[in-house]
Amino acid sequence: MKIAVVGATGLVGTEMLKVLAERNFPVDELIPVASEKSKGKEIEFKGKKYKVVTPDEAIAQKPDVALFSAGGGTSTEYAPKFAEAGITVVDNSSAWRMDPTKKLVVPEVNAHVLTAEDKIIANPNCSTIQMVVVLKPLHEKYKIKRVVVSTYQSVTGTGVKAVQQLMDERAGKEGEKAYPYTIDLNVIPQIDVFQENGYTKEEMKMIKETNKIMGDDSIRVTATTVRIPVMGGHSEAVNIEFENDFDINDVKTLLAQQSGVVVVDDPANLKYPMPKDAHGKDEVFVGRIRRDESQDNSLNLWVVADNLRKGAATNAVQIAEYLVEKGLV
Ligand SMILES: NC(=O)c1ccc[n+]([C@@H]2O[C@H](COP(=O)([O-])OP(=O)(O)OC[C@H]3O[C@@H](n4cnc5c(N)ncnc54)[C@H](OP(=O)(O)O)[C@@H]3O)[C@@H](O)[C@H]2O)c1
């Protein structure tokens, strides 16, 4: 297959290339795409060198699939042009996620909604992806009424500029800022811009995307999203209230059986998920599994995943794998 990676020089794009190679995705020809400023730059993939091209040049080469991670503006402008040329787009930006005509997909949860007619497929927000993979088996068995989530998100979620800001601050150097405040030795309770209701856009994404992916608007979700000075992945404290009572051992079994989830839950030996351990991995790690003793039918969990892998690149590649496997591209 001919695969275009749009945003190939960015954090997610770089991870995308690694994931394509590691999972042995059937790439016969790679088309790395970035902005005009990177045109001609060489990218190595599976021992071969490829030259970066612009989005227009990529369309002319007619790839089968284009994996986009080049920001909302690029997706809004170019995804329809790729789609019109018959190229299936899997888009990492937020541009198409809430469009009712576009599918929003986490393969372990709702890959079955995909058809050959879907030419622009949206990859959800990183913090939503890792949460819904964990919610899915629990909702099927015990029916979720409400979710309260607080996130502890890695600077890698903001892109190369943010990683550089953290490194500059650690080295005591002046440099470009991705955040309005110092991030090193700090916690910033704002991810993306504020909305009229006082929530941030990231928080509203978690709420709306969860309902869309789970295919159930009755699940009530509230979120507080927070940036912390870590690199390996996003962490989330998730409180879930179910319609029905549950057995805590059954919850652990359901999670251990869920595809894409690894349970790390052994408090006696101080074992729980941490971003430094999730870094570079494709799975979602869950631990600190315990009853919320303040309320009936309620559970507390700690969920960690590498936001650049399962939160972005891996999920997009898994969507492409599903399309290939089912003959939808
Ligand atoms: N980081 C995450 O955890 C995460 C998770 C999910 C989704 N996403 C989404 O993925 C996208 C990229 O994130 P990132 O963290 O990888 O950002 P990044 O490191 O800043 O990379 C941005 C990429 O987009 C390319 N680009 C910018 N303008 C372009 C244009 N006009 N035409 C073609 N390519 C263009 C850049 O190319 P140049 O090098 O030439 O500028 C670069 O390759 C964003 O939409 C983000 O919301 C990120």
Task: Give 268-283 as a DSSP string.
Answer: GGTB---HHHHTT--S
Nearest CA to ligand 1 atom 31: 35
- Overall average pLDDT of the 257-269 stretch: 98
CB 135 within 8 A of CB 108: no
Our answer to whether residue 139 is catalytic in this structure is no
Q: How confident is the model at residue 149 (pLDDT cuts 50, 70, 90)?
A: very high
Tokens of 316: 């997009």
d(Cα 166, Cα 156) in Å, to the nearest integer? 10
What pLDDT does 20 receive?
98
Instruction: State which H helix or E strand residue 300 sits in.
Output: strand 298-305
Structure confidence by residue, pLDDT tens digits, 47-75: 999 999 999 999 999 999 999 999 999 99
CB 17 within 8 A of CB 8: yes
Structure confidence by residue, pLDDT tens digits, 219-255: 999 999 999 999 999 999 999 999 999 999 999 999 9
Q: Which of 82, 124, 316 is nearest to 212 (CA)?
A: 124
What pLDDT does 185 receive?
98
d(Cα 282, Cα 298) in Å, to the nearest integer? 28
Our answer to whether residue 112 is catalytic in this structure is no
- Overall average pLDDT of the 148-173 stretch: 97
What pLDDT does 259 receive?
97
Dihedral, CA atoms, 76, 81, 87, 91, nearest 10 degrees? -10
- Overall average pLDDT of the 155-171 stretch: 97
pTM for this one?
0.96
What pLDDT does 119 receive?
98
- Overall average pLDDT of the 267-285 stretch: 98
Q: How confident is the model at residue 113 (pLDDT cuts 50, 70, 90)?
A: very high
What pLDDT does 247 receive?
98
d(Cα 286, Cα 299) in Å, to the nearest integer? 13
What pLDDT does 255 receive?
98
d(Cα 12, Cα 5) in Å, to the nearest integer? 10
CB 158 within 8 A of CB 229: no
- Overall average pLDDT of the 280-291 stretch: 98
Domains of the chain: 2-124+312-325 (3.40.50.720), 127-307 (3.30.360.10)
Q: Does ligand 1 have an atom closer than 6 angstroms to the CB of 93?
A: yes
Q: Does ligand 1 have an atom closer than 6 angstroms to the CB of 34?
A: yes
What pLDDT does 60 receive?
98
What pLDDT does 114 receive?
98
CB 205 within 8 A of CB 248: no
Structure confidence by residue, pLDDT tens digits, 73-86: 999 999 999 999 99
What pLDDT does 108 receive?
98
Structure confidence by residue, pLDDT tens digits, 198-229: 999 999 999 999 999 999 999 999 999 999 99
Structure confidence by residue, pLDDT tens digits, 124-143: 999 999 999 999 999 999 99
What mean pLDDT is reported for the chain? 98
Structure confidence by residue, pLDDT tens digits, 7-38: 999 999 999 999 999 999 999 999 999 999 99
Tokens of 287: 């631990």
Residue of 14, 69, 228 with the most ligand 1 atoms within 8 Å of its CB, for mutation:
69
Atom of ligand 1 nearest to the CA of 70: 24
Tell me which residue has tokens 């652990």.
252
Task: Tell how far the Cα of 154 is from the centroid of ligand 1, in angstroms.
Answer: 16
What pLDDT does 176 receive?
96
Nearest CA to ligand 1 atom 40: 35
Q: Does ligand 1 have an atom closer than 6 angstroms to the CB of 313?
A: no
